[in-house]
Structures are given as C-alpha cells and as structure tokens.
Chain A
Amino acid sequence: MTILEKFSHLRVAYEQLRSLGSDPFTVRFDGVLSPTEGLREGRRTILFGTNNYLGLTFDPSCIEAGIEALMQSGTGTTGSRIANGSYDAHTRLEQALADFYGRRRGMVFTTGYQANLGIISTVVGKGDYLILDADSHASIYDGARLGTAQVIRFRHNDPEDLRKRLARLPQAGNKLIVVEGIYSMMGDTAPLREIAQVKAEAGAYLLVDEAHSLGVLGRQGRGLAEAAGVEADVDFIVGTFSKTLGSIGGFCVSDLPDFDVLRVACRPYMFTASLPPTLVASTLQALNRLQSDPGLRARLLSNSRRFHSGLDRLGFRLGADATPIVAVVLEDRDLAVAFWNRLLEAGLYVNLALPPATPDGSAILRSSVSAAHTVQQIDTAIGLFAAVGEELGVLSPRPLAAMA
C-alpha cells in the first residue's frame, strides 16, 4: 500500500460496486446525439440523468454563438481575470445575469463549485457564523471548510431548527444562512418563505444556491426565491451554467453596494483561469433563450409532471413532489445497483446515488427530466421502470385492470 492507504475503505466499496455489473464511474458514451440521447455500446440510450433541464446543449443559436466567439477570440483566456484582464464577454455576461435577477452586481466563476467555494469562504470570516442546511451540496461544505467562520448545521428543510440554532449564537458576528433552491438528490425545495422569515428576525444574511432551480422555478425562471416571493430577503444568489444553461461556469449576484470588493478578496475567483469566450457566449445565448422562450419552461413542467405521476402511479417511493428531479428511493444499495444496471442494459440512463452522497443514507435512482424529452421517451422510461421494478420485486405485478 502507498500514501493512498487511507482510502482503502473507498477502494473496497468501489470494487464491490464493480462486481455487480457496470458502474457509474466507468459508463462511457461513444457519442451524444442530442440532449436526450446517447450511444452506448453501439445502441441508443435515453438520457434521464443529465440536468439538461431546458435541453439547450444542442440549441442551434447557442452553438452558433459559441462557434462565433471561438473564431473571434480563440480557445481560451489562458489566465485569470486579475492577471490577464476581463474579456468584454465576461463583463457582458455578468451584467446580463445581474439584469436577469434585477440585482446591482454579478460575478462569474469558472464553475458552480468554485462559485460556492469562493462566496461562502469569503463573505463570512473569523468571528462570523455559517449556518448550513445539513443536506447541503459538497461545494457548500467545501466552501465552509476553506473559510474561517464557525460552521453550524441545521436539520434539512427545518426552519424551526434553524431558528433554534440561530438563537444559540452570540449577538456579535455576521451570520450567513445557506440553502438550496431545489436539492439535487431528492428534488425537494427549501421552505424559503419560512427561512426568510427566520433570517429577517435573526438579522442574518441569506444565500440561496439556485443550481437546479434556475430556469425551472418562478414566473421568469429566476428560481425558488422568485417562486416563493422572497427575492428581497435573499442577499446572495449563487448558480451554475452547467445545468439549465447547458455549458459550464458559475455565478453570484447580489445587491450589496460593495460587492465588487470580492474580486480582490475571493481566492477561488482570483487564482484560476477565467471561462473561455466560447463558453461565455453560449451561456449568454442560453440565458437569452431562457428569457425569450417561456415555452421551454412550460414543456419542462409538463414533462416533469408526466414522468413523476407515471412513477407515482406505479407505486414507487418517490423523493418529493414533481420537480424535474425525480428520485426513486429503494430499499437498499444492492437493489439500487441491480436496478440501475438493468435500466442501463435496457437503454435508459439515470443516476445511481448511494450513501454517503445521499440524504438519510438512502439508495436512490435519480432521474432528471428535460424540456427536450419527447412524450414517447418519457413513456418508454416509465415502462422500463415498471418492467424492471416488477422483475426485481420492487413493484407487485400489476393487476390486469390497472393496465388499461
């Protein structure tokens, strides 16, 4: 054994997973044909685990914008914003995001992970407090570890528990509460109205990570804060370009008048290369598409409802009400692995999520629905879930009467 000995428990777990068939770490697509279809081992596979909520990865206008920027400005920036300067497109994207959210300032990061890492580790410091939902994404926990504030967790989606934990803290010190719009594993949304209330009473700040809710929730697609009508109580919105907007990158918008000081204080912003112009351009165009075509969101919503109610009617235990993230919760890990393998063999790709990456130690088959899914693809997916569910004894065989 080597210096990596400390990971032997991970190696054992991983080998066990591999012995049961394919595993998510080695699934390889030989080609991706559209937002909803890939080629795997020579056959077409329906993609239901891509977070491609509006299906914009193949949008012709986004592709064209990307190509144009690629030809005009080259393949990369080869350095950070503070070292090599900003391209015009970086500033335009920041302005477009701020405008979209109706905020004063916006800041773009190279990934969503870095946006959380940077903002969370920087806006609170020594003598301050970070109060995190216990089921927060790894990027939020890592931001907490990088920073110097004291870190407190509250029970997932429990405003009363948050209130209680805030009450235990001393008066002095800034307090930043961090929650997510839609939680990435179970697809549940935060009770944001109640959380905003607690935040206001405690005189704390509130950050909402809208990674999975941008373009999904709210009349204009601004996310949960808009849908819950509490945007004025949210001090920082963080998000990513890697899901709804179909590219890569992250951002934070805010109304703080001195927000821009973060550009010289926030290390995960300062010490990494900035986004290549081609990605900035396709992201900008995706943001345009999101705003100019509300039909995309309407389609996403109706697809989500169709998929969710199809699985619900079959009798699966589901993680939450219909959002584009639909989690089928299974009895145990081995069953989830077997189920996932059978679906993949049958031509359906979903996400396999196992503890410790999942809440409550549950084993989950996580699907994400896209506006680009056809009704036929959704019904095929439901049919495959039904067939494998029966085969593996998760569902009892359907009585004939129910099949009509």
Chain B
Amino acid sequence: MHALDALEERIVAELRAVVDPNIEISRNTDISRDLGLDSLTIMNFVMKLEDAFDLSIPLERLPEIQTVADLAKTIRDIQAKV
C-alpha cells in the first residue's frame, strides 16, 4: 500500500474522529461509500478541513472527490491557486 503523505495523514486523522475505530482508512478509501458516514457528518468533516487549511472547497467540486487521495488532490489544487 502507498504510504500517506502529510496532507493525507491529516485528512485521515480528521476522519478517525468520526469513523468507527474498527474500519480501516487508506488513501484509496471511498469517503462516502466505505465509512458508513451520513451526508451531514461528511459535510461537517469537509467544513472542518476547510477551517484547518483556511480554504473553501466549492460545492461543485465535491463530485470529483471520492477517495482520501482525491480529496488531498483537490485541496492541493485549491492551495496552488490562492
């Protein structure tokens, strides 16, 4: 398995706070499918990440995000633009 980079580590750490401890989380975990989270929990999780990185993830970009790695990529893209 791919090692996590620092950004992915951070995302996984935020997910651990809301996910059942027995569920494994890797960079290829599908955030909405594999973790048993409802849409509200996911929204709050995204808002927390936005605060942690001081950026906004526009709603229309959410469909492109499935896995932890996708999310890290989107955050990196947004950071690069600011």
Q: Which residues of A contact B (CB under 8 A)?
A: 134, 144-145, 150-153, 155, 164-165, 168-170, 355-356, 360-361
Contacts and interface: CB of A to CB of B under 8 A. Distances in A.
Contacts of B54: 168
A152 B40 contact: no
Interface in B51-66: 51, 54-56, 58-60
A165 B59 CA distance: 13
Given A168-B54, A168-B55, A151 B40 contact: no
A153 B47 CA distance: 9
Q: Give me the 4 closest cross-chain CB pairs, A-B, nearest first.
A: A151-B59, A150-B58, A152-B56, A361-B40
A355 B40 contact: yes
A155 B58 contact: no
Contacts of A165: 50, 56
Q: Is the interface of A mostly helix, strand, loop or mixed?
A: mixed
B18 interface: no
B4 interface: no
Contacts of A151: 58-60
Given A134-B43, A155-B47, A355 B59 contact: no
Contacts of A152: 56, 58-59
Given A150-B60, A152-B59, A356 B43 contact: no
A153 B39 contact: no
A168 B49 CA distance: 14
A152 to B, nearest CB: 5
Given A164-B51, A356-B40, A360-B40, 13 more contacts: A134-B43, A151-B59, A151-B60, A152-B58, A153-B43, A165-B50, A168-B56, A169-B56, A355-B38, A356-B38, A356-B39, A361-B38, A361-B40
Given A134-B43, A155-B47, A361-B40, A144 B59 contact: yes
7 contacts: A150-B58, A152-B56, A153-B47, A155-B47, A164-B51, A168-B56, A356-B38
Nearest to A166: B56
Nearest to A130: B59
A254 B7 CA distance: 45
Nearest to A360: B40
Nearest to B46: A153
Contacts of B40: 355-356, 360-361
Interface in B25-57: 38-40, 43, 47, 50-51, 54-56
B65 to A, nearest CB: 14
Contacts of B50: 165
Contacts of A153: 43, 47, 59
A168 B55 CA distance: 6
Contacts of B56: 150, 152, 165, 168-169
Contacts of B58: 150-152
A150 B38 CA distance: 24
Nearest to A356: B39
A164 B54 CA distance: 9
A150 B61 CA distance: 9
Nearest to B53: A168
A146 to B, nearest CB: 11
Contacts of A155: 47
A344 B34 CA distance: 38
B18 to A, nearest CB: 13
Contacts of B82: 170
Contacts of A145: 60
A168 B51 CA distance: 10
Nearest to A155: B47
B49 to A, nearest CB: 13
Nearest to A141: B59
Nearest to A132: B59
